Structure 1
Amino acid sequence: MTTALTCTAVDAGYHAGHPVARQVDLSLEAGSVLALLGPNGAGKTTLMLTLAGLLCPLGGRVEVDGRELRPGSPRAAVRAGVVLVPDDRALFKELTVVENLRLASRRGSPTTLDTIFGYFPELGRRAKVGAGSLSGGEQQMLAIGRALMQDPRVLLVDELSMGLAPVIVESLLPVIRRVAHDTGAACVLVEQHVSLALRVADTALVLSHGDVALRGDARELAADESRIEEAYLGRRSDDGGLSVAVTTASR
């Protein structure tokens, strides 16, 4: 496998000398999924914005396919194939499903409307409906579908579950796994439902107070929940489970 995304000693933040996430190292292969986890305020969204070029790294470097991204340039990131699905979904609410998808399409792209409707049949049935009239789950499908129309090399999904019922999240997360397999895109998934995220991810990384508290194979971490719990909270819960981590909102 080829390495699609590499971060080397990345500091991410909003003011020089005050990083929110510190010394983050990542190496993500094409077609793999990374679950980026951590409690509220850990720096996950800040790191995602930095990977997408919306924030300039305060230190370190980000590479896609071995080429360094121009720091703080969203246009350069998009040209390199980095596509972000933000936590607010950023849809054009007055436009229909089809219109939102077509706006994101690239000339000569192999990805078609039928491709997206294959992943999300519900969108096909709602193709002519305005995005503002869709349910929360359908809006998230559309946000992901719009990102896929850009043929991402690196797909960043920030808070897929925001405002959604767990049963909807459970149906959407496997699509990220399928997309990675089908397209070869490297996917970084910020998700508050830890157990569900670990089911579809290959690897996981936990940020806590801006530092990398834990990283490892997703299956191994899912089998030893206490390691995740300790990385989140510095201690195990009374029942030894992931109840707090699972319900903690991630940002």
Structure 2
Amino acid sequence: MPAATLHVNGLSSGYGRTVIVEDVSFSVPAGQRMAIIGRNGMGKTTLLSTLMGLTTHHAGTIAVEGAGVEKLSASRRAYAGLGYVPQTRDIFRTLTVEENLVSGLKGRAKTNLDEAYHLFPRLRERRRNLGWQLSGGEQQMLSTARALLGKPSVLLLDEPLEGLAPVICQELMAAFTELAKAGTTTILLVEQNLKTALAFAEEVLVMERGRIVWSGQSEALSSEPHLIDKFMGVAGVH
């Protein structure tokens, strides 16, 4: 499945009657990289969860390559091209690495597991280990690789580097960069490390209290320290 354009218009969502994301609109061209940043608790994770169909939808539309998905279940959105790597990782802890990866193939041949092992060679080394036997970084690699095996046209990454050792962060970002350069996947990255986010993404959204308060090119935000301080405060200095 080739990279797809993601178009979001007037999106409001939350949990039950509580609205957390309010009137959010943006577009990501096919194959582009966008970072979503902001202080903790500003709705970034809820936005990605909403795109994947895991929250209460109140208003607005979500279109993948022009096809509306906002009324679809999470599983149907996955088959429509959305891939999701949650902050919680959500691997199958009692299955082996390889069994976890097979669950992400969506009917593709088992030989395609080599795609995951190419991106993350240490998963090949650990392929017979159970999920609970992996380190936090290895679990993140497994969660990411499983999502990628479904060949998503739009990949949603929710703070994939949180709490991981620097060497693991480097491996993960190298894999994301390789994927991005291939041009086959549109990527939305929620990331607290501002330098990492701006170095990776071409476009940036800044969220405050569930709304987008700034959008533009990464270079433009990098050149405006007062905006970084305004939107991120001490969180922006990483």
> Structure 2 length as normaliser, TM-score?
0.91
Contact 2:12 2:57 in 1 (8 A): yes
Cα distance in 1 for residues equivalent to 2:85 and 2:8: 19
**1:81 is aligned with what amino acid?**
G
Q: CA deviation at 1:92?
A: 0.8
Contact 1:12 1:19 in 2 (8 A): yes
The yes-or-no answer on 1:93 pairing with 2:93 is yes
Task: Give secondary structure in 2 for the equivalent of 1:175.
Answer: helix
Task: Give secondary structure in 1 for the equivalent of 2:215.
Answer: strand
Partner residue in 1 for 2:187: 187
Identity of aligned residues (%): 35
Q: CA deviation at 1:128?
A: 1.4
Counting only pairs closer than 5 Å after superposition, residues 155-194 of structure 1 correspond to structure 2 as: 155-182=155-182, 184-194=184-194
Contact 2:104 2:150 in 1 (8 A): yes
Partner residue in 2 for 1:50: 50
> Structure 1 length as normaliser, TM-score?
0.87
- Ranges of 4+ aligned residues in structure 1 off by more than 4 Å: none
Cα distance in 2 for residues equivalent to 1:37 and 1:115: 30
Cα distance in 1 for residues equivalent to 2:174 and 2:220: 19
Q: CA deviation at 1:107?
A: 2.4
Contact 1:173 1:197 in 2 (8 A): no
Task: Give secondary structure in 1 for the equivalent of 2:42.
Answer: coil
Counting only pairs closer than 5 Å after superposition, residues 69-218 of structure 1 correspond to structure 2 as: 69-71=69-71, 73-108=73-108, 112-182=112-182, 184-218=184-218
- Alpha-carbon spacing, 1:203–1:94, altered in 2? closer, same or farther (3 Å): same
Cα distance in 2 for residues equivalent to 1:225 and 1:111: 48
Contact 1:54 1:72 in 2 (8 A): no
Task: Give secondary structure in 2 for the equivalent of 1:89.
Answer: coil
Cα distance in 1 for residues equivalent to 2:175 and 2:198: 14
Cα distance in 2 for residues equivalent to 1:246 and 1:86: 24
Partner residue in 2 for 1:245: 236
Which stretches in structure 2 are left out of the alignment for 5+ residues?
A: none
Partner residue in 1 for 2:11: 10
